[in-house]
Amino acid sequence: MTSTFIKHELKAFWRARNTGKSIAVHIVMGLMILYLLACALGIGFFMDRFLKQAFPKDDLVFSFCGIILIYYLFELLSRMQLQELPTLRVQPYLQLAVTRNSLVRYLAFTAMLSFFNLWPLILFIPFILKVVAVKMGGVAALVFILSVIGFSIFNNYLALYIKRKASLNGWVFLVSSLCLILIGMGDFKWHLYSIRNFSYLFFGHLATQPLLVLVPILLAIAMYYTNFLFLKQNLYLEELTKHKTLRKSTTEFPLLDRFGNIGDLVANEIKLIIRNKRPSSALKVSLFFLFYGLIFYNNPKIGEYMKLLVGMFMTGIFIISYGQYMYGWQANHFDGIMVSKVSFTDFLKAKYLLFTLVSTAAFLLTLPYVYFGWRTVMIHFIMYLWNLGVNTTIVLFFANRNSKRIDLSKGAAFNWEGVGVTQLLLSIPLMLAPYIIYIPLKLLAGNNNLPLVVIALLGMIGIFTRGYWIKLLTADFYNRKFKIAEGFRDK
Partner 1 sequence: MIEIKDLKKVYNNILVVNIPHLEIRKGESIGLVGNNGAGKTTLFRMMLDLIRPETGEVLSNGENVAGHENWKNYTASYLDEGFLIDYLTPEEYFYFIGGLYQQSRAQVDEFLAGLSDFFNGEILKRGKYIRDLSKGNQTKVGVASCLLQHPELLMLDEPFANIDPTTQFRLKNMLKEINKEQGVTTLVSSHDLNHVTDVCERILLMEKGRIIKDMATNSSTLSELEEYFAIGHKMEAVDSVKINVDEEENH
Under the binding rule (CB under 8 A), the answer on residue 339 touching partner 1 is yes
CB of 126 to partner 1, least distance (A): 49
- For partner 1, which residue of 5, 318, 334, 386 counts as binding (CB under 8 A)? 334
- Cβ closer to partner 1: 84 or 346? 346
Q: Which stretch binds partner 1 (CB under 8 A): 211-219, 326-334, 386-394, 465-473?
A: 326-334
8 Å CB contact between 34 and 141 = no
Q: In whole angstroms, how close is the CB of 474 to partner 1 at the nearest point?
A: 11
Question: Any residues with CB less than 8 A from the CB of 296 and at least 6 apart, and which?
Answer: 302, 306, 307, 310
Q: Which is nearer to partner 1, 61 or 331 (CB)?
A: 331
Residue 226 Cβ, how far from partner 1 at the closest point, in Å?
31
Q: Is 299 in the site for partner 1 (CB under 8 A)?
A: no
59 or 490: CB nearest partner 1: 490
Q: Which of 11, 333, 375, 471 binds partner 1 (CB under 8 A)?
A: 333
Count interface residues toward partner 1 (CB under 8 A).
Answer: 30
Decide if residue 208 touches partner 1 (CB under 8 A): no
CB 429 within 8 A of CB 405: no
Indicate the residue among 211 and 246 with the shorter CB distance to partner 1: 246
Nearer of residues 392 and 402 to partner 1, judged by Cβ: 402
Closest approach, Cβ 312 to partner 1, in A, equals 30
Interaction between residue 15 and partner 1 (CB under 8 A): no
List the one residue from 57, 191, 301, 341 that touches partner 1 (CB under 8 A).
Answer: 341
Q: From the CB of 484, what's the least distance to partner 1, in Å?
A: 11
Q: Angle 47-54/118-127 helices, nearest 10 degrees? A: 80
Least distance (Å) between residue 325 CB and partner 1: 16
Distance CA 111, CA 79 (A): 12
Residue 116 Cα distances to 40, 83, 121, 157, angstroms: 12, 8, 10, 12
Does residue 338 belong to the site contacting partner 1 (CB under 8 A)? yes
> Which of 19, 101, 340, 427 touches partner 1 (CB under 8 A)?
340
Interface with partner 1 includes 335 (CB under 8 A)?
A: yes
**Binders in 237-296 for partner 1, by CB under 8 A:** 243, 247-251, 261, 264, 268, 271-272, 275-276
Q: Which is nearer to partner 1, 49 or 271 (CB)?
A: 271
Whichever of 395 and 484 has its CB closer to partner 1, that residue is: 484
Least distance to partner 1, CB of residue 409, Å: 9
Closer CB to partner 1, 201 or 255, in the complex: 255
479 binds partner 1 (CB under 8 A): no
Burial class (CB in 10 A: 0-12, 13-18, 19+), 200: buried
By CB under 8 A, tell whether 40 contacts partner 1: no
Binding mask 342-371 toward partner 1 (x if CB under 8 A, else -) reads xx----------------------------
Question: Binding residue for partner 1 (CB under 8 A) from 332, 365, 407, 454?
Answer: 332
Site for partner 1 contains 7 (CB under 8 A): no
Which CB, 130 or 401, lies closer to partner 1?
A: 401
Question: For residue 327, is the peptide bond before it cis, meaning its omega torsion is within 30 degrees of 0?
Answer: yes
> For binding to partner 1 (CB under 8 A), which residues are involved?
243, 247-251, 261, 264, 268, 271-272, 275-276, 332-336, 338-343, 408, 478, 482, 485-486, 489
